[in-house]
Every structure is written in C-alpha cells, then in structure tokens.
A = this chain, B = another copy of it.
C-alpha cells in the first residue's frame, strides 16, 4: 500500500499575553508528512491510529508559560512541534509482547493521525470492562473525573446538610463534582455560561443551576444562604464572591482558574482577608501529585457508575484533526458544552 498523509496539528507561534490561540496563526494543520501503514518499521514497538483527543484549557499554558511559573510548568512547545494531550488510539500493528492489534491504548498522545510507540512509556492498554464509549475515558472516566474524585475524597469531608457551590458546573470536572456532592447528600449550587449548560446541570441533579452571564453570582449565593464548600475552576471575581458568601469553616478547592489563562491580572482577589475570621481553608492542588492515591478506587468505581447511568456524561464533539485549533478556542471562550472531545478517526 502506498504511503498516505499523516496529518498533524503543529504549534506555530505563541499568542500574545492577552490573546487567544488563533487557528492558522497559533496552530496549523500540516499535511506534509506521510506514513506507510503496512511497511513502516516498528522496531519492537507498535503502530497506533489515533481515535480521540482531549481538548483542555491547559493547552493554552503549553503555548506560553505564565510568567513566574517557569519552574512549575513544562517548557512551552517549540514552533513546529505537534500539540500533545491525553488521547486514545487503536493498535494497527504490534511487535510488542504486551500490545496486540485491535487493543485500545490510552495516554499522552501527539496531535497526529498515526503514531509509532517504541514501548509502553506514557501509554497503557485501555481495558474498557465497563463497556462505555471510549471517549468517556478522556472525561468523567479519565483525568477530569479523577481530578474531581481525588480532590473530593482528599479534602472535602462533607456533612449532610452542607451547601457546595461549583463553578463551571457543566464541564467534565465540575459536573463530576456536582454529582459526587449529590451522592453525598449535599445541596448543590452550580454555574455555567449558557442556558444549555444550565439545562444539563438540571439534568444531573444540581439544585440551583444558574447562568453566571445573566444572574449575579453574589446575589444568588446570598439568596441561597451562603456556602460551605466552593469548587473553584474560575478564580478572580468568582473566587472573591465565593469567599464572601462562605460560612465559617468553609473549604475551597482551587482546581483551575480559567479566567486567568489569558490575562493573569484578572486573577487578583480582594477578599482573602476574610479567610481569617471565617477559618476558611483553601486547598490548591494538582492532579499528578494527588492521583496515585486514588486512581485504583477511581478506576474500579467510576466507569461502572457511568455504565449504570449513575454518573452522567456530556461531551462536546468536534470532528477532524484539522479542527483541533477551533476546538481549543471554543474551550477557552466557553463555547463548548460538556467535555470537549476531538474525534480524529471513527475506529
């Protein structure tokens, strides 16, 4: 068989500090490479056809590292390199003893249609025993779900009559948090940026879902009598509003601050003083540090909950690797509803 095009989404140049990544300018779809699927040498490794890729806000941070955080972030991508993120592929050919043709593999995957892996470093065979759609393993059954699960178990010791507020409650992390909180019997307030997202939050059982673009956060938190737990995916003014509405002994989980991916200055907060009289604890956390402690129970429990409809999943599908730059822009500007999934190929 003749070589075929092996399309890639490459990084071209960093957006300015206040700019979003623009498809065609920041990234470009490149078709200059080819691959001969039948004859390419594997050298003991295996050949993977990429099926799905996760599109996440942190990809913005791979394009230019926030100032002052150089030591904490991996170095930014170099122009010409493909983007990289969690993804799932199917094995076309294998010379590796632990991997066979037809296996799904999950791990850190370059934004390319076909990839050769020399070994299982950074990638693992995905056993989908719960028989859920594989894309779920990039969302509620994957890193975002594990983020919610691990931090909820580690930091929140919920009492039955408490109230939790979740920002970005329609996203994969926020919606998992909201559903875990409901399973623990809490009252859940959650916000998102569109009426469609509000509808989804209603469907997963959120008691007080609201659209923060049309409803004042401060007013609604006050009207609901304040909060005991805040799951922060936003930062800035929303974090200030949550601190202001917090009861004594509130716990705040700082999971992401999407409001500052493009303009770090908007992450300044004014109400931090209140944590003293209110005895509030704020936990910043990152998943790689916390995940190992919870991954076994997460994998045992969560895919089954999804299969039985006890954890609901919403995905925002974009088709085609050439549209990955658009999908990222949608995530960063809040246009997607649910976990953003890029379909590179249909099995």
Binding site for B on A (CB under 8 A): 66, 68-69, 72-73, 235, 239, 244, 248-249, 254-257, 260, 264-265, 267-286, 289-290
Q: Which residues of B contact A274 (CB under 8 A)?
A: 68-69, 72, 284
A267 closest partner in B (C-beta): B273
Judge whether B272 and A235 touch: CB under 8 Å.
yes
Judge whether B289 and A284 touch: CB under 8 Å.
no
- Docked CA distance A271–B255 (Å): 15
Judge whether A72 and B286 touch: CB under 8 Å.
no
Q: A276-B255, A277-B286 in contact; A270/B268 too (CB < 8 A)?
A: yes
Judge whether A68 and B265 touch: CB under 8 Å.
no
Q: Which residues of B contact A269 (CB under 8 A)?
A: 268-269, 272
Between-chain CB contacts (< 8 Å), 11 pairs: A68-B271, A69-B274, A69-B277, A72-B278, A264-B273, A265-B270, A276-B286, A277-B284, A279-B284, A279-B289, A281-B284
Q: Which residues of B contact A69 (CB under 8 A)?
A: 274, 277
Copies of this chain per assembly: 2
A277 closest partner in B (C-beta): B72
Between A66, A73, A276, A285, the greatest number of chain B beta carbons within 10 A of the residue's beta carbon is seen for: A276
Judge whether A281 and B278 touch: CB under 8 Å.
no
Judge whether B248 and A276 touch: CB under 8 Å.
no
- Docked CA distance A343–B264 (Å): 50
Residue of B265, B279, B285, B290 touching A285 (CB-CB under 8 A): B279
Q: Please give me the 4 A-B residue pairs with the lowest Cβ-Cβ distance, nearest first.
A: A275-B284, A72-B277, A282-B282, A276-B284
Q: A72-B278, A268-B268 in contact; A235/B273 too (CB < 8 A)?
A: yes
Between A73, A255, A265, A268, the greatest number of chain B beta carbons within 10 A of the residue's beta carbon is seen for: A268
Judge whether B289 and A276 touch: CB under 8 Å.
no
Q: Which residues of B contact A290 (CB under 8 A)?
A: 279
Judge whether B276 and A254 touch: CB under 8 Å.
yes
Q: Determine how close the nearest CB of chain B comes to the CB of A219; give it in whole angstroms.
A: 15
Q: Determine how close the nearest CB of chain B comes to the CB of A242; give it in whole angstroms.
A: 12
Q: Determine how close the nearest CB of chain B comes to the CB of A259; give it in whole angstroms.
A: 10
Q: A265-B270, A268-B269 in contact; A285/B289 too (CB < 8 A)?
A: no
Judge whether B267 and A270 touch: CB under 8 Å.
yes
